[in-house]
Structure 1
């Protein structure tokens, strides 16, 4: 049977044809977006942190006693933690802990223009051993001088004047120009800091990573204290066991008026960073499986119904000399055309919906062409398998049985 006649049959039974087409389009839209989002989320696990994840510890504490002298407390803690045999460097951390957000307001700007949109950034305020604790490699410029460090209460209005920035942030802000000597403006207050050095990329604060600015970070030589949070970063010797976590807690519990919330390796913080998002990805995969199952049974039901109301037409076709294989081929081509139309419609809908998710909901699901092709082929094969059972049964209809009336 010619393609022209097959198209006429589709038009004649347009209601059922349209339902099959829409069912396939919906499946492509759902499965396509779920695949983009799941792939975009799960592949984040493969992005290297460039951190010594099992040699850096995050230490979270809170001071609940307002009478505690935080300046003296921090100095005492730094001394006690440095005394632990496994600890090689320790720094106070005002704003961020490695791959875990303490402050969510970290933005970096090129100017003081209030209309300028900031770039998400991990800002690390550190004391003298901070660069060594994070394991930074300075590729341009220099490290901080001792007289550039500021240690002050957050109510004193004293801030450092210089900063180190990552290579990725330097490129985002200044392109191919040198970042050395440039001024960057940090946080909503847009405090000015002169760039004195650039360091090799490290995956640091969670807020920057969440915005897919994997290696945007800034190191500032200042320790601002005053809030209840008093946190530290520690570097320990390679191969140090988890027993160090208990030793750190014991060292900090010697001070009354505060609690130790958590001590963890950076590797654990990184895992926690992706736990919630990977769960979301697996949920999307589950939704895809349900959509595929519903589409399969829906197509089987619709094609079976279509065949049941076309028995006489098929019988007449057989009576006129058409073989079973000819009838089977005709019905398969008919449904293949509907599947192709549904895939095209669903692909356009999936692209539009994906753009909406990425733009408005910050989903990590940019379109991957090879993945889109795989989804299209998979849905087309699924539809072919779904129609084969009822179509094969229809091809076996005996002409005498359906034409005798």
Structure 2
């Protein structure tokens, strides 16, 4: 059957043809975007953390007695936790726990330019022991000296003067030069810190991970305790230490009155919780894709069935003129293929535009994946072909005598 003749048939049924094309385009747009987002989200499970997930322990506590001297309490806790069998190092965690956010988002700036938003960063303000606890591997520069550390009440205007940053963050902030010796500006009021070291990339802060800045982190040798109730710690335990150490940690901390221990967990558990939330979102997107496929299939079957019912006499005439069942089916399938190709092209263009809008404005992760776009296009075409096959087969079985007889 000539393409020219099929185009005439399509033009003859403009309204139905347009509806089928739009339905396919909308399906490709929805399925394409949900597939891209789901794929990119589930891919996160494969991103290496480069941390000792089963050795680093997050400890969450709250002090409910306002009369407790937090500074003295933290000092006692650090000494007590170090004495626990299996604990290799410990640090007070002022800002963030490993892959578990305590405070809000942080930014690092290479300049004081207020128009520059800076880079998302997991900022760890720590006491001595943090470098060992986090497993920091310095590749340029030096570690902190004891004299670099600042510890005290957050109401006191005391700040450290130096900072260590990850390799990824160093390249993002200072792409054309070495980060060592450069000035880095942190916090909302852009306090200056001198970069004294660059360390190997590690996935530390939850906020940095959620903004896809996987290895953007910084460590400053200052730890302030504030008027809020949070007092948290990071511990590193020996390899193959099981969860029974959690009970020892809790019992040790419970010896101090005026506070509760909320949770003790390995960083691996915090990481799983982080990805669980994202994977749930991905599966929701997959569910939406399934609904789009179902609606598209049913919609095409309904539209093609209606189209065939309108053209029943025309199909009967073709059969009376000698057209075989296979030829009738081939005509209907080719007609659908042309509509599907146009719909898929429109849908892919819409998916590309919508995807860029999501990524740019809503910070949703999900860039176009070329091979996945091809798979989506092929699947939607197969779906439309299957949806057309059912009514087309029924149309091909129409008896010429039945539709050409006069009343």
TM over 0.5: yes
2:234 maps to 233
Mapped pair 1:67 → 2:67: yes
Report the Cα offset of residue 176 of structure 1: 3.9
Q: What is the deviation of 1:83?
A: 0.5
CA RMSD of aligned residues (A): 1.0
Partner SS, residue 116 of structure 2: coil
- 1:245-296 CA-partner distances (Å, limit 9, x unpaired): 1111111111111111111100000011112121111011011111111111
Partner of 2:288: 287
Please say if residues 316 and 401 of structure 2, whose CA atoms lie closer than 8 Å, have aligned partners that are also in contact: yes
Q: Distance in 2 between matches of 1:260 and 1:66?
A: 16
- 1:161 maps to what in 2? 161
Residues 17-36 of structure 1: per-residue CA shift (max 9 Å, x gap): 11111111111111111101
Aligned partners of 1:222 and 1:40: how far apart in 2? Answer: 36
Counterpart residue number, 1:94: 94
The 8 Å contact of residues 63 and 230 in structure 1, kept in 2 or not, is answered as yes
Alignment-derived partner of residue 179 in structure 1: 179
Q: Distance in 1 between matches of 2:399 and 2:67?
A: 95
- C-alpha distance in 2 between matches for 1:314 and 1:116: 67
Partner of 2:390: 389
Matched residue SS, 2:151: strand
The SS at the match of 1:127 is coil
Q: For the residues of structure 2 that align with 1:164 and 1:374, how far apart are their CA atoms? A: 44
In 2, are the aligned partners of 1:105 and 1:188 still within 8 Å (CA)? no
Aligned counterparts of 1:44 and 1:325: Cα–Cα separation in 2: 48
Aligned-partner SS, 2:230: coil
The superposition leaves residues 47-89 of structure 1 with CA deviations (integer Å, 9 ceiling, x where unpaired) of 0000100000001111122211111101000011001001000
What residue number does 1:316 align with?
Answer: 317
**Which structure 1 residue ranges, 4+ long, deviate > 2 Å from structure 2?**
none
| In 1, Cα distance between equivalents of 2:77 and 2:115 | 42
Contact 2:107 2:117 in 1 (8 A): no
Report the CA distance between 1:392 and its aligned residue.
Answer: 1.4
Equivalent residues of 1:40, 1:364 under 8 A apart:
yes
Check the 8 A contact 1:24/1:346 in 2, yes or no. yes
Q: Structure 1 CA distance, aligned partners of 2:105 and 2:258?
A: 28
Shift, 1:334, TM fit: 0.3
Question: What is the distance in 2 between the residues matched to 1:247 and 1:326?
Answer: 79
Question: How far apart, CA to CA, are the structure 2 residues paired with 1:231 and 1:65?
Answer: 16
Q: Secondary structure at the match of 2:184?
A: strand
Contact 1:105 1:187 in 2 (8 A): no
Per the TM alignment, residue 105 of structure 1 is displaced from its structure 2 partner at its CA by 3.3
Aligned counterpart, 1:19: 19
Alpha-carbon distance in 2 for matches of 1:183, 1:25 = 51
Unpaired segments ≥5 residues, structure 2: none
Question: Aligned pair count?
Answer: 405
1:351 maps to what in 2?
A: 352
State the SS of the aligned residue for 2:91: strand
Residue 399 of structure 1 corresponds to: 400
Q: What is the aligned partner in structure 1 of residue 110 from structure 2?
A: 110
Q: Note the alpha carbon deviations across 1:284-310, whole angstroms, 9 max, x for none.
A: 101111111111111111111111111
Q: Which residue of 1 aligns with 2:259?
A: 258
Residue 208, structure 1, aligned to residue 230, structure 2: no
**Stretch of structure 1 that moved more, 110-119 or 238-247:** 110-119
Distance 2:187 2:374 in 1: 43
Change (3 A) 1:188 1:85: same
Distance of 1:63 and 1:359 partners within structure 2: 41
Instruction: Tell me how far apart the structure 2 counterparts of residues 66 and 114 of structure 1 sit (CA, whole Å).
Output: 38
What is the DSSP-based 3-state SS (H/G/I as helix, E as strand, rest coil) of the residue aligned with 1:121? strand
Aligned counterparts, 1:365-380, within 5 A: 365-380=366-381
- Of stretches 313-322 and 167-176 in structure 1, the one that deviates more from structure 2 is 313-322
| Residue matched to 1:223 | 223
The alpha carbon displacement at 1:119 in A equals 1.1
Aligned residue number for residue 279 of structure 2? 278
Alignment of 1:113-192 (within 5 A): 113-192=113-192
Contact 1:169 1:215 survives alignment (8 Å): yes
Residues 192-223 of structure 1, C-alpha deviations (whole Å, 9 max, x = no match): 10000100000001111110000000011111
